[in-house]
Amino acid sequence: MSTSSDRPDLAGLERAELEALFRGAGIPVFHARQVFRWIHRRGVTDFDAMTDLSRDLRADLSTRFTIETPKLVGRDVSSDGTEKLLFELGDRRRIESVFIPDTPLRTFCISSQVGCAMDCAFCLTGRMGFVRNLTAAEIVAQVRVLAQQLHLLEDRFNIVLMGMGEPLHNYEAVMSALRILNDDHGLAIHPRRVTLSTVGLVPAIDRLAREPLMPNLAISLHATTDAQRGAIVPINRKYPLEELVAACKRVPLKRRNRITFEYVLLDGVNDTPADARRLVTLLADVKAKVNLIPLNAAPGIPFDRPSDERVNIFARILAEHGMTVSVRKSRGRDIRAACGQLIVEGQKKSTGQRAASLM
């Protein structure tokens, strides 16, 4: 009996890759399509349960291949209905994904890396440092398991790449996962239902702009001067604001579509009326909407959440200048599922490869 490690895992293969693998193994290619549908549309990962395949083929496939799924090891439900799922991966590393029931549509917030190298000053995940990239299989599996657990395989939902990690720092696996999720034989999730949030890796934004399957883009802006952004979002020292905004302008957008600019409000730091007015100027020529995120404070994070009044004043200045602005409701704070709170203890990498070493 072979162990799972010496059998290729089918869970992270795009349909074309699965077809090529079957072709090479002498298995009729239409079976690849059937297997893909079982995994990605129906959430079935046990060959024995793939009832439209012959008994012999099922037996043959299970000796040659495996279909791995990260283990669901925890599930917390917030008083506001938000749920946080904790997964254990094949190497025992852990990641979290979040289900938000009503924003207004159901939304899955998924992770792209274990930890994160970007080291933003207000984000707990950044404290972990970078541990490793997720594979396409691990990214897709979060969606599959969430949809199964919540009985949503047949329903519509949105996906936001706003969990742990910087998705554009794991470009290949993230795009491969999006192609699998988009496939008509899988969940057929349209790219307009997917939002990729990035700290602003300029070359990767340019690359993303050329993708046939381009998700909605959200940029974690958080400051309006290079001095301030460089202090709280270290990657700004490599890709300063002017370059970031220029890259955003190069992104081809469908009519009525806009780039979301996320702006975490830190009390007394970046939330003054002068900041708001600079933000208006900075985004003047960009098809933009602004999503204000009052800080989710946490022990060890050296900032405070501003008062609602400060948030409202900031939002009003943007609105008065004709900008589309929303304030993100903090969801799942009681289960530490809110933005920037995803961290799994005990797997910090002490030699953390952080943004500084990427510069």
Give me the residues that bind ligand SAH (CB under 6 A), please: 118, 120, 122-123, 162, 166, 197-199, 220, 262, 264, 293, 295-296, 301, 339-340
Cα 358 to Cα 62: distance, rounded to the nearest angstrom = 41
Closest approach of ligand SAH to the CB of residue 33, in Å: 33
Q: In what order do the strands lie in the sheet with 158-161?
A: 71-77, 83-88, 94-100, 107-109, 158-161, 194-198, 216-220, 259-265, 288-294, 324-327
- How many CB atoms within 10 Å of residue 327? 16
Backbone angles phi, psi at 331, to 5 degrees: -115, 140
Q: Which residue lies nearer to ligand SAH by CB, 158 or 220?
A: 220
Closest approach of ligand SAH to the CB of residue 267, in Å: 12
Q: What is the 3-state secondary structure (H, E, C) of the chain?
A: CCCHHHCCECCCCCHHHHHHHHHHCCCCCHHHHHHHHHHHCCCCCCHHHCCCCCHHHHHHHHHHCECCCCEEEEEEECCCCCEEEEEECCCCCEEEEEEECCCCCCEEECCCEEECCCCCCCCHHHHCCEEEECCHHHHHHHHHHHHHHCCCCCCCCEEEECCCCCHHHHHHHHHHHHHHHHCCCCCCCCHHHEEEEECCCHHHHHHHCCCCCCCEEEEECCCCCHHHHHHHCHHHHCCCHHHHHHHHHHCCCCCCCCEEEEEEECCCCCCCHHHHHHHHHHCCCCCEEEEEEECCCCCCCCCCCCCHHHHHHHHHHHHHCCCEEEECCCCCHHHCCCCCCCCCCCCCCCCCCCHHHHC
Q: Which residue is nearest to ligand SAH (CB)?
A: 340
Backbone angles phi, psi at 55, to 5 degrees: -55, -40
Residue with tokens 């949809």: 147
Backbone angles phi, psi at 75, to 5 degrees: -150, 115
Residues with catalytic annotation? 96, 339
